[in-house]
Amino acid sequence: MSGSRRSFVLCAAGVGLGFALDACSGSGSAPPPSPYSGDLRTVALAAALENQALSAYRAVETALRAGRFGPAIPALATFVRTALDHHTRHAATWNAILRDARKPVVSGAPLSGHARLMDAIAAASSVDEIVAAVRRLENQAAQTHTAAAGSLAGPGPAVSAAATIAPVEAMHAAALGYLLSGRSGVTSFLGTAEAVPMTELTA
């Protein structure tokens, strides 16, 4: 969560919404209200997660090209390129739903945990560490989309997007683990315990 948005929430929580709006408006730090509500907020969170995945994979690609982890790993390099293509398409799918609803598309990764994730990737000292970081974000994305399929109001383009994208994110996570460790992390149910909560969205 950005500092300005956190300030607004704390202010509102502390003194009551009506008074808080007055009290906080003079500081000039309150952000504009979110353009997303209801199902479209769920869609915006999904788009932000796809953009976050793009940032993460670009950082991984840069690290691999720079030889940060020793000699090349050809299978990981091709995996990363394909995952980048997939997440680009996923972001476009979610943003098309926002555009059709005449809402702004999500560019960048307005997520409170984004900087922490990028720091973890930058600090990774081995292939195992960097792969663990992107596997975690793939699992989180798959579980967030699974939860979205259940929370959206009813059948429609957003449910279709969640249903067709979640399995692909789950495959990314499974393939990464199996290719690079020979071990499978697949469990009998995907679950939603690691789904990213809506409160992480700062847009």
Under a CB-based contact definition with an 8 Å cutoff, are residues 112 and 163 in contact?
no
Look-up: residue for tokens 């476009």?
A: 92
CB of 142 to other proteins, least distance (A): 6
CA-to-CA distance for 168 and 189, rounded, in angstroms?
15
Among 40, 61, 192, 194, which residue interacts with other proteins (rule: CB under 8 A)? Answer: 192
Among 145, 200, 202, 203, which residue interacts with other proteins (rule: CB under 8 A)? Answer: 145
CB of 79 to other proteins, least distance (A): 4
List Cβ neighbours of 69 (8 Å cut-off, separation of 6 or more).
Answer: 63, 126, 127, 130
What string of DSSP letters covers 39-51?
Answer: HHHHHHHHHHHHH
Structure tokens at 123: 């600090």
CB of 19 to other proteins, least distance (A): 36
- Count the Cβ atoms, other than its own, within 10 Å of residue 33: 8
Instruction: Tell me the β-bridge partners of 111.
Output: 201
Structure tokens at 151: 């929370």
Positive/negative CA dihedral, 67, 68, 70, 72: negative
Q: Which stretch binds other proteins (CB under 8 A): 15-23, 49-57, 112-120, 156-164?
A: 156-164
Nearer to other proteins, 12 or 84 (CB): 84
Nearer to other proteins, 102 or 183 (CB): 183
Site string for other proteins, 105-144 (x = CB under 8 A): ---------------------xx--------------x--
Look-up: residue for tokens 């600090």?
A: 123
Q: Which stretch binds other proteins (CB under 8 A): 27-35, 42-50, 55-63, 182-190?
A: 182-190
Task: By CB under 8 A, tell whether 40 contacts other proteins.
Answer: no
* Residues of this chain that bind other proteins (CB under 8 A): 70-79, 82-83, 85-86, 89-90, 93, 126-127, 142, 145-147, 149-152, 154-155, 159-160, 162-175, 178-184, 186-192
